[in-house]
Amino acid sequence: MARIVAVIASERQQVAGGAPIFIADDSAELQRLANLAEKILDCNAHQLSEKVYILVDHHAVD
């Protein structure tokens, strides 16, 4: 099963929970953070909405 490694959002109200959460100030920074985190973690950045991205490790095994 895939695992959520991190959440990146520009809207603090929309996110909570167990994974590390990074808050961006605007959409440009949101994109920059998502791109960086994808390369660093080798995990896919998926866009749930304009303001929320999740980083998912598809190689994770339970």
Partner 1 sequence: MRIHTFVEHPDLVGVALGTAFGVFTRVLMLRSDYRQYPAYPHGRIIHLALGLIAGALGSVAVPALFNKDYTAITFLSLAAQQFREVRNMERNTLTAIDRQELVPRGATYIEGISVVFEGRNYLAIFTAFMTSLVVTVTNGYWGSAVGLVCMLAVLRLMKGKTIKEIARVERIPVRVDGPNIYVGGIYIMNVGVGVDQQVIAEEAMGFVLTPKNGDARVTLANMGQRQAILHDVSTRLGVYRDDGEPSLLPMAKLELSTGKLGVLILPREKDPDKAMKAMSDVPLLESAVRMPTEANRTKGDVQHG
Residues that bind partner 1 (CB under 8 A): 31, 34-35, 38-39, 42-47, 53, 58
Minimum CB distance to partner 1, residue 60 (Å)? 12
**Contact predicate 56/8, CB 8 Å:** no
Distances (CA, A) of 20 to 7, 52: 6, 13
Q: Of the two residues 15 and 34, which places its CB atom closer to partner 1 in the complex? A: 34
| Closest distance of CB 30 from partner 1, Å | 10
CB of 61 to partner 1, least distance (A): 15
Question: Could you tell me which of 61, 27, 57 has the C-alpha nearest to residue 46?
Answer: 57
